[in-house]
Amino acid sequence: MLKQRIITALVLLPIALGGFFLLDGLAFALFIGAVVSLGAWEWARLAGFESQGLRVAYAAVVALLLAVLYLLPGLAPLILALAVLWWVAATWLVLGYPDRSRYWGGLPGRLLIGLLILLPAWQGLVLLKQWPQANGLIIAVMLLVWGADIGAYFSGKAFGKRKLAPRVSPGKSWEGFYGGLAASLLITLLVGLQQGWSVGSLVLALLGAALVVMVSVVGDLTESMFKRQSGIKDSSNLLPGHGGVLDRIDSLTAAIPLFAALLWLAGWGSL
């Protein structure tokens, strides 16, 4: 398994780095769209589609909607607003699982939830790529999420006792959550001090980082919730040793649109 993970990572890493940081404009939108469409194919299974034809059809619908969003950039504020509302609702659903699963809305509701997860993630990345310091912004949100993951892993291993969401993901603990949050805030603090941010800017950055990290945890737990309900361990086996695309980007699907929304509110870029 470890060998598989390493080989897959070595193959995917240059593709991911090239796609994220060397592509621009339409090419970047298409690259991210391909990743999101694969995630849609996986989500269709979590939603209840067993047929490959139906799963491919759902992915095609998502790809078509991405094309519409690219052609109608004025919809971006609406998409980000819907994302923020959805992740607030997702927090409520996760905290009340499994009792609140009755509010998912059956198959149509689960398919709609997939759109609320996937479309804003694509929209957020496309916006970040268009704004000042585009690649730096993408690196920043990834560092926040990955820093939180690494911090959570080590603090959870060392101190984890109280379960964060035992009915959704028994392996996660509150101690891990706090350790992950602390790691991301430390990264933000060090970057702010190195860049010479004012006290006010640094405080706002720390608050924003905390919100992004918290919602990234909800993104992770949301996918875990739907996998648990479906009796599925991994979203797919597209990435040998790593599971599926959604298993790798679940935290980012929540963090990216909120990160973009907060930057927009701070006046960083235009919508």
Q: List, for residues 10-36, the tens digit of each pLDDT value.
A: 777 788 888 888 999 999 999 999 999
pTM score above 0.85: yes
- Residue 199, CB-side half-sphere exposure with 13 Å CA sphere: 0
Per-residue pLDDT band for 79 (boundaries 50, 70, 90) equals very high
Q: Residues 138-194: pLDDT tens digits?
A: 999 999 999 999 999 999 999 999 999 999 999 999 999 999 999 999 999 999 999
Contacts of 62 by beta carbon, 8 Å cutoff, 6+ apart: 36, 37, 40, 114, 115, 118, 119
Per-residue pLDDT band for 241 (boundaries 50, 70, 90) equals low
Residue pair 80/264 in contact by the 8 Å Cβ criterion: yes
Q: Percent of the chain beyond pLDDT 90?
A: 86
H/E segment holding residue 169: strand 169-173
Per-residue pLDDT band for 1 (boundaries 50, 70, 90) equals low
pLDDT value of residue 271: 75
- pLDDT of residue 203 exceeding 70, the answer is yes
- pLDDT of residue 6 exceeding 90, the answer is no
- pLDDT of residue 117 exceeding 90, the answer is yes
Give, as one character, the DSSP assignment of residue 243.
B
- pLDDT of residue 198 exceeding 70, the answer is yes
- pLDDT of residue 258 exceeding 60, the answer is yes
- Residue 63, CB-side half-sphere exposure with 13 Å CA sphere: 14
Q: Tell me if residue 143 falls in helix, strand or coil.
A: helix
Nearest to 81 by CA among 115, 109, 120, 111: 120
- pLDDT of residue 3 exceeding 70, the answer is no
